[in-house]
């Protein structure tokens, strides 16, 4: 248990979400244990005692995330509701506590998997593993970040730019640059691969590189490679930086269902391969790509509010299509919208969700395009907010 607590405490730091020494992670079986002593532990143990949970994370996020969270707290009542996919499917809403007390936090956690405590950070729990708390923690930060920038761009567009945010922006962007790693040279294997070992190695490296480049919040995202008659794909809920043992081989004809644990995007990946030409797919959640996908200045669109499933306009960030689609199967699912969109392109951005890129031989193009699309989106965003309000 202690090993797991330390693992996720270290991961929060390694992913740049917290400063070293900050995360406090507790685990419970028949007694509570902590990754380290901390004055907050006593109050948190009251929370644990009041809930049926097995783990808890409490930490103050690193900048710029901490300032962003606090800003959301200032502006919201009992909760705030980002509109990205992660919130929509998984968090539903982000509740806000005003003090680090069990009395205030317990009622929030009775309903939701995590909450923000104004001026303190995030408290989140798990019922089978501290990994859940880690995931909720990083999801809250991701969603809050996206909402911060999306709201600001819309305020600008409306001709009433949010002055508080405008004043914060230089520092927030500078801190975000510090959060992003210095562009390291990434050497990914050259393909085509046919041996399982080579495939697994290439996938593991590309996954790790994506996490290192901070283009995915680790738990989400997925990756696959196509060889022979088989799609090799990361398992559902696997971390792209921990792919060893977490890749399923799924035969095209579905003749084995071992891949029942494969990513929910298996069908979308498979259909992309069936369209021909591609061998590698990489899917991450780079933040400005998600932000840009949610900025649509189409006046009076009857689908507004339902863009993530209903959008029927052709939208692009330069040559990259922005498409609707919910996670998984079904008529409004990514499995129907994604494959036609990437046909003959570098990739596609899914509304409020993330980016899919492809490669014809190996992961080098897919990775490079993921990072190019993110750069493109950040530049586009900066242009939008620094230009005059359109119209």
Partner 1 sequence: MHGWTGKILTVNLTEQTTAELNLPVNVYQREIGGKGLCGALLFEHFCHAWNDPRMPLAFMTGPLNNTSSPTSGRMTVMSRSPLTGAVCDASVGGRLGTVLKRAGYDGVLVTGRSEQWCGLVITENGVAFQDAAHLTGLAVSDIHGRLLAAPGLQKGAHAMVGPAAENGVRYAAIVFDGHYFAGRGGLGLVMAEKKLKFLSVSGSLKTDVFDRDELKAAQEEIYRLVAASPVLTGDLGLANYGTGALYDLMRSRRMMPTNNFRETYFESAPSMNAYAYKKRYATKKFGCAGCHILCKKVGAQGDIIPEFETMSHFSALVGNTDLDAVVAANRLCNEAGMDTISAGVALATHAEITGRQMTPAAILTMLENIASGRGDAALLGQGALRYACEAGRPEVAMVSKGLEFPAYDPRGAYGMALAYATSTRGGCHLRAYPVAHEILRKPVATDRFSLSGKARIIKISEDMNAVVDSLTACKFLFFAASLEEYARALQGVTGMRTSAQALLKTGERIYYRERIMNARNGFTAEDDDIPVRFFQESGSSSESIQIAPIDREAFLQERAAYYRIRGLDAQGLPTPEKCQELALPC
List interacting residues with partner 1 (CB under 8 A).
Answer: 1, 4, 27-30, 50-54, 88-89, 92, 109-113, 126-129, 131-132, 135, 235-238, 250, 254-264, 266-267, 270, 326-330, 333
Considering beta carbons, is residue 64 or 339 the nearer one to partner 1?
Answer: 339
**For residues 204 and 282, what is the distance between their CA atoms, to the nearest angstrom?**
11
**Nearest-approach distance from CB 330 to partner 1, in angstroms:** 5
Give CA 241 to chain center in angstroms. Answer: 14
* Count of helix runs (H) and strand runs (E) in the chain: 13, 15
Closest CA to 126 of 139, 135, 115, 118: 135
Sign of CA dihedral 32, 38, 42, 43: negative
| CA separation for the pair 359, 367 (Å, rounded) | 9
Least spacing, CB of residue 161 vs partner 1, in Å: 33
Per partner kind, with CB cut-offs from 5 to 8 A, the member of Zn ion, partner 1, none near residue 352 is none
In the bound complex, what is the minimum distance in angstroms from residue 172's beta carbon to partner 1? Answer: 31
Partnered with residue 356 across adjacent β-strands are 283, 348
Which strands sit side by side in the sheet containing 347-350, from one edge to the other? 247-251, 230-234, 222-227, 280-284, 354-359, 347-350, 320-323, 315-317
- Whole-Å CA distances, 40 to 23, 48, 111, 316: 11, 12, 22, 47
Give 114 or 286: the residue with its C-beta nearer to partner 1.
Answer: 114
Contact 133, 59 (CB under 8 A): no
Contact letters for Zn ion, residues 215-254 (x by CB under 5 A): -----x----------------------------------
51 binds, among Zn ion, partner 1, none (CB under 5 to 8 A by kind): partner 1
Q: Is 286 in the site for Zn ion (CB under 5 A)?
A: no
User: From the list partner 1, Zn ion, none, which binds 254 (C-beta under 5 to 8 Å, kind-based)?
Assistant: partner 1
Nearer to Zn ion, 269 or 279 (CB): 269
Q: Is 1 helix (H, G, I), strand (E, B) or coil?
A: coil
* Residue (128 or 300) nearer to partner 1, CB: 128
CB of residue 31 to partner 1, shortest distance in Å:
9
CB of 336 to partner 1, least distance (A): 11
354 lines the binding site for Zn ion (CB under 5 A): yes
């Amino acid at each position: 248990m202690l090993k797991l607590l330390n693992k996720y405490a270290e991961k929060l730091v390694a992913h740049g979400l917290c400063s070293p020494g900050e995360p406090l992670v507790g685990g419970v079986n028949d007694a509570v244990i902590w990754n380290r002593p901390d004055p907050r532990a006593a109050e948190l143990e009251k929370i644990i005692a009041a809930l049926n949970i097995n783990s808890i994370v409490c930490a103050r996020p690193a900048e710029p995330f901490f300032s962003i969270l606090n800003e959301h707290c200032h502006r919201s009542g009992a909760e705030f509701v980002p509109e990205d996919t992660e919130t929509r499917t998984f968090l539903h809403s982000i509740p806000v506590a005003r003090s680090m007390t069990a009395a205030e936090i317990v009622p929030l956690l009775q309903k939701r998997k995590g909450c923000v405590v104004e001026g303190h950070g995030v408290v989140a729990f798990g019922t089978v593993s501290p990994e859940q708390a880690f995931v909720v923690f990083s999801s809250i930060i991701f969603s809050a970040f996206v909402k911060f920038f999306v709201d600001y761009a819309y305020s600008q567009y409306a001709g009433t730019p949010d002055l508080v945010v405008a004043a914060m922006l230089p520092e927030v962007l500078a801190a975000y640059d510090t959060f992003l790693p210095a562009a390291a040279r990434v050497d990914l294997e050259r393909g085509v691969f046919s041996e399982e070992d080579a495939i697994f190695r290439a996938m593991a490296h590309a996954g790790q590189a994506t996490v290192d480049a901070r283009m995915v919040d680790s738990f989400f995202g997925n990756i696959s490679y196509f060889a022979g008659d088989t799609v090799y794909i990361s398992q559902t809920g696997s971390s792209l930086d921990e792919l060893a043992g977490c890749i399923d081989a799924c035969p095209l004809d579905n003749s084995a269902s071992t891949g029942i644990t494969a990513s929910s995007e298996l069908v979308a990946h498979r259909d992309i391969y069936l369209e021909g030409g591609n061998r590698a797919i990489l899917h991450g959640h780079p933040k400005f790509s998600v932000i840009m996908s949610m900025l649509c200045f189409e006046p009076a669109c009857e689908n507004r509010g339902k863009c993530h499933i209903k959008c029927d306009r052709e939208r692009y960030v330069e040559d990259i299509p922005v498409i609707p689609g919910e996670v998984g199967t079904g008529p409004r699912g990514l499995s129907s919208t994604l494959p036609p969109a990437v046909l003959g392109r570098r990739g596609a951005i899914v509304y409020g969700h993330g980016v899919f890129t492809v490669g014809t031989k190996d992961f080098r193009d897919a990775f490079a395009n993921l990072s190019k699309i993110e750069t493109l989106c950040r530049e586009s965003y900066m242009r939008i907010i620094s230009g005059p309000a359109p119209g």
